[in-house]
Copies of this chain bind each other. A is one copy, B any other.
Amino acid sequence: MSSAVRNRMQLHQQNIQSVFAEVFNHQPISRIEISRNLALNKSTVSALYRDLKDQGYVEELGEGDASNVGGRKPVLLAVNRKYGYTMNFDFGYRHLHAMQNNVTGDVLSYKQVNVKGLTLKQILPLIDAELENISTNDHSSHGLLGISFAIHGTVDHNKVTYSPFLDMSQVDLEDYYTQKFQVPVLLENEANVSAVYERDFNKANEQLSNMVTISIHRGIGAGLIIHQNLHRGIHGEAGEIGRSVSIDGNWDGEPRKVEDYCSEDAIITQIQDKKHADNMTREDVVRLFKADDQVTKSALRGFVRNVAGIIYNVANNFDPDVIFLNSPLIEALPELEPQIESFYAQMAPSIRVPIKLTKNSHYATLLGGCALVTREVLGMEDAKLNFGAQTVIL
C-alpha cells in the first residue's frame, strides 16, 4: 500500500524502470518497440531512455534492419555490458565455486577451487584472492557491484542461522565483505537461489508464476517461487521439506525425517552400511549402479520411490506450475527420472505437476545468486527480468 505509485515523480521513476526492464529483457530493442510494448508514447520512451543513458545503464548498439515496406532503420538499444560485474560463490562439499557475471547475467569467468576439509576461515583467503585477481583484470566502468553466497543451510536477515555441513558461525560474511568493498553482499539458501535461477534465467518459465525447486544434495530443501516471488518465510525456513515427519499413527520412538531416508547422504550411508564400506562418494554409487550392483540398485529403488512421494507431497502443498529437481545424483543417473515419473503417476493418476531436471546444478546455484544480487544492485527487486547466461569475453 504505502509503496504504491501515487504522484508524478514516482510514476516517472517507475516508467524509467519499465523501460530499463524492456531493454534488459528484449535487447537489442528499438525505442519504438518499447513504446508499443509498454503502451507509452514514443516521445515519452525517448525521454526516459535518455535518462537511463545519462546514468550509464544502457547504450546504443547500432542500426537494425528497416521494415520490408520501407522506413527508417531503428536504433538498437541494449544494457551497457561494461557497467560492472557481480561475484557469486557457492560453498560445495569439495569445491568452492566462483563466478563473475555482468549485469545481464552473462558469465565472464568461472573457477572452482578445492576446499575439501578446510574451515570457513581457511577458505576466506581463497575468496579474497579470487576477488583481488578478478578486480585487477577488470575494465568495466563501475567494477565490482555486489557479491552473493549460496548457503547449504538456512539464512535469515542475511545471516547464516544453520549450516550442518560447514561451520559458518565463526565468520559474518555479510559484515566482512560489505566493510571491505561497500557493495551489497547477499547470503541465500541454495535451494532458494536454484529456484530464482529457474525464474530468472530459464526463458521457458517466463509465463509461470509458481515453481518449486526440490534440491537433493547432502540434505533436502525446496526453493519456492510463489506468484513470481521467492517465498522465504518469516524465519527464512520455508521449503525445509527435508525436516518433514511421517503422519501415520506410529508414535513409538523419535519421529524420523524425510532427509533421513532419501538425501544423497542417507543413500550413500545406507549402501555403505550394507557393504561394510567406508568413505564412499556419489561417484562410487554411480559406478556400482552402472556395474549392476544389487545392493545399490535396491537402495536407489527406494530412493526413487521416496523422491516420487516427496514430489507428490510438494504438489499437494503448493500445486505449482512445475517442479524442478536439482540433484547431482539424478543428474549423474538420468535413467532414474522416468522411474520417479512413473511412481509419481501411480500416486497421482489425474492431475499431475510436470517434473523437470535442472541441468548443471552448480551453475544454477551461482546464477540464481547472481540474479538476486544484481536485482538488488539495480533496485529492480520486483520487476520481471530475464537474465541471459552467455559466456562472453569482453
Chain A positions within 8 Å of B, measured between CB atoms, are 1, 4-8, 11, 14-15, 18, 21, 38-40, 210, 222, 226-227, 229, 231-241, 243-249, 251, 255-256, 258, 261-262, 302, 305-306, 309-310, 312-313, 315-321, 347, 351, 353, 383-384
> What is the bound-complex CA distance between A178 and B106, given in angstroms?
52
Contacts of A229 in B (CB 8 A): 227
Closest 5 CB pairs of A and B: A233-B319, A246-B246, A238-B319, A237-B319, A246-B248
Inter-subunit contact B244/A317 (CB<8 Å) = yes
Inter-subunit contact B232/A319 (CB<8 Å) = yes
Q: From residue A200, how far is it (CB to closest CB) to chain B in Å?
A: 14
Copies of this chain held together in the complex: 2
In the complex, 25 of the A-B residue pairs with CB atoms within 8 angstroms, ordered by the A residue number, are: A1-B18, A5-B5, A5-B14, A6-B14, A11-B11, A210-B233, A210-B234, A227-B227, A227-B231, A231-B318, A232-B319, A234-B319, A234-B353, A237-B351, A238-B319, A239-B317, A243-B316, A244-B317, A245-B347, A246-B246, A247-B261, A247-B262, A247-B306, A248-B256, A249-B306
> Which secondary structure dominates chain A's binding surface?
loop
> What is the bound-complex CA distance between A5 and B9, given in angstroms?
13
Q: Which residue of B is nearest A242, CB measured?
A: B316
On whether A313 and B245 interact (CB within 8 A), knowing A235-B319, A235-B351, the answer reads yes
Contacts of A312 in B (CB 8 A): 243-245
Contacts of A246 in B (CB 8 A): 246-248, 309
Q: Which has the most chain B C-beta neighbours within 10 Å: A14, A240, A315, A318?
A: A318
> What is the bound-complex CA distance between A238 and B320, given in angstroms?
8
Contacts of A319 in B (CB 8 A): 232-240
Contacts of A320 in B (CB 8 A): 233-234
Contacts of A40 in B (CB 8 A): 6-7
Contacts of A251 in B (CB 8 A): 302, 305
Q: From residue A154, how far is it (CB to closest CB) to chain B in Å?
A: 9
Inter-subunit contact B309/A245 (CB<8 Å) = yes
On whether A318 and B238 interact (CB within 8 A), knowing A310-B247, A313-B247, the answer reads yes
